[in-house]
Structure 1
Amino acid sequence: MTRIAIMSDVHGNFEALKVVLSDLDAHSPDAAYCLGDMIGYGPQPQECVDLLRERGVECTMGNHEQGLINIHYLRGFNQPAADVLRRTREMISEDTYQWLVSRPKSLVAHGCRLVHGLPPDSVTEYLWKHKDDMDRVFAGYGEDVCFVGHTHDLMRWTCSRGRPVRHPLPQGETVLEGGARHLVNVGSVGQPRDGDNRAKYVLFDLEAQALTLRLVPYDVERTAALILAHGFHRGFADRLR
């Protein structure tokens, strides 16, 4: 049995990342991947990156990592988010900065495509903007299963005989339909926006073609307090609650 773990959008939330990795350890996946946005919004970017690297989690680039590169990318953010990214640059080491901005825009591993925004390799495009054009999204990559993040929303799409259909992604196990192609949004570790403030990640059993959504509680108030202590926008703390 080969099983992989996929997470996304840690956003500098060290408390959430720690509990996700602890929960992940109990299931012993063969590999773990993060679909970008390790930083931004949250108060502990250096600690998050250090832990991801220490644990050997393979990471793709997100739009917040891209936002560190130059002013052209930073202009795409609202002012509070841009302000946090400027502060983030001051809070991380030069080695961490170089590592973040050198992440690949997509990965193909275990026959699956891994990308932050939209396949095949966009770190900025939102899946929901293409909900009426999903046949073209599926045509844009060749793998049967693709994992994305970016929107912080849990969902999955299937495409069978050229017909894309959206489905919820509930807690627990979901077996993927045979003979179809699949696109799965794994939600967010560090800043969920689905009405449930637990940290989210997914386990995928490749042989059984089974997804297991894990929802892990963590100390939300500790992260929220650190956001405020750093002088970041209050909305980034309130989103966690």
Structure 2
Amino acid sequence: MIDVVIVMDLTGSMRPWKETMQQTIAKIIDQFLNSVNGYQVRVAFIGYRDIWDNEEKLVYWSFTKKIDEIQDYISKLEAKGGDDEAEDIVSAFELALKLDFSHNPDSILCTFLIADAPCHGGDYHNIESDNLIDKMPKNYFEDVLEKYKQIKKNNFLCCVKINNRTDIMFQKMKAVMPLMIITSEKKPEDLIEVVGFTLRMSVTESKKLKSQINNKNLIFQSRI
């Protein structure tokens, strides 16, 4: 089983990305399933805006194998809101922690963060437009990511770079999750390639990890 979590900024500037995702998610998953054998895929979607957007700051759809449900749900969402430039990314990952992940120890978690702005807090960016620039606890994002990293041993995170404003935040995230992928600067039409490649890579790397663990177990048993 592969659990795919899409975490996406849904403020106004992200409209082209939202529209591309709703148009291509089914194609992305179909192409991936045709390229590998023996895997099932479940997809969850979390959209976030900002703290000031009240009840609409977080929207989500839990894991489903019916990709058309996700596609239909995303199509009904609106990219809007946002006050300052920084956004409430951390709340999205806090919500992700509550999803019903597969309990299979060999299952894979593949998460995509699609964001054109950093989270709140002066440690995560060098922009001026952050109403909470000096009000966020030290390492508050890293603490949440540390919990997220513990969900599975096969845990892969891909951050889709849209501009340079997220660079500092991405590097701090990578310090917590060393296997995290940070793409080069991308456009909406690149989503099919980025997501498809990352899914295939997650399968390859999880097989390598399993082989390494099995080899270590054999060495340990031989020493006994």
Whichever structure has more helix as a proportion of its residues is 2
TM, length-normalised to structure 1:
0.32
Radius of gyration: which is bigger?
2
TM, length-normalised to structure 2:
0.34
